[in-house]
Amino acid sequence: MDIALNNEAPHTSVVPSGEGRFVDDYLLYLMARASHAISAEFHATLRRAGIQVPVWRVLASLSGSTTGETVTGLAEACLLQQPTMTKLLDRMVRDGLVKRMPDARDRRVVRIAMTPRGEATVRDLLVSAKAHEAELLSRFPDIGANRLKELLRSMAARPARGRRREAA
């Protein structure tokens, strides 16, 4: 049960007053804060490379995809709205990182694929990302990486259950 975690002050105290703020024990906040903090570490690398965070997310989501991704699919993957993704892709096309291609079966669909320039850009970043992840996990030797990842995946899965769609 015991794991040797950092035993710093339990709350980093933005608040001097009350000994415990609500948010400092609120799971959603702790998740957002942890995610933000560890992402910020990598964002420094992106900054040095002159790559914006959403651009990196798109490139990372595209990496490995041969057929290309749809706009809506990318939006979901990057946790953005669809119109936001359309405009982000406009910029990335302009910068030569990705290209839009027609879908073979469905003419509504636009498939997004990386250009050689996009691939070259993402290649180095992927190396950095993997290195950072390894370093990060090494900071917490007592947690099982796969176990943690499984938990996160299940958290991201459909909340569903309970009220689905209201009867029309």
For DNA, the binding residues (CB under 7 A) are 52, 54, 70-73, 80-84, 86-91, 100, 106-111
Q: Which is nearer to a copy of itself, 31 or 101 (CB)?
A: 31
Q: Looking at 18-159, which runs of residues are DSSP E strands? A: 69-70, 98-102, 110-114
Residue 49 interacts with, from DNA, a copy of itself, none (CB under 5-8 Å by kind):
none
3-state SS of the chain: helix, strand, coil percent to 5?
55, 5, 40
Smallest distance from a copy of itself to CB 151, Å: 6
Using the rule CB under 8 A, is 157 a contact of a copy of itself? yes
Smallest distance from a copy of itself to CB 99, Å: 17
Smallest distance from DNA to CB 146, Å: 31
Q: Which is nearer to DNA, 11 or 54 (CB)?
A: 54
DSSP 25: G
Using the rule CB under 8 A, is 32 a contact of a copy of itself? yes
Residue 87 interacts with, from a copy of itself, DNA, none (CB under 5-8 Å by kind):
DNA
Using the rule CB under 8 A, is 16 a contact of a copy of itself? yes
What is the sign, positive or negative, of the torsion defined by CA atoms of 77, 82, 88, 89?
positive
Contacts of 59 (CB under 8 A, 6+ apart): 51, 97, 98, 114, 118, 121, 122, 125
Using the rule CB under 8 A, is 18 a contact of a copy of itself? yes
Q: Which residue has the tokens 């796969």?
A: 146
Smallest distance from DNA to CB 91, Å: 6
- Rounded (10°) angle between helices 116-139 and 53-62: 100
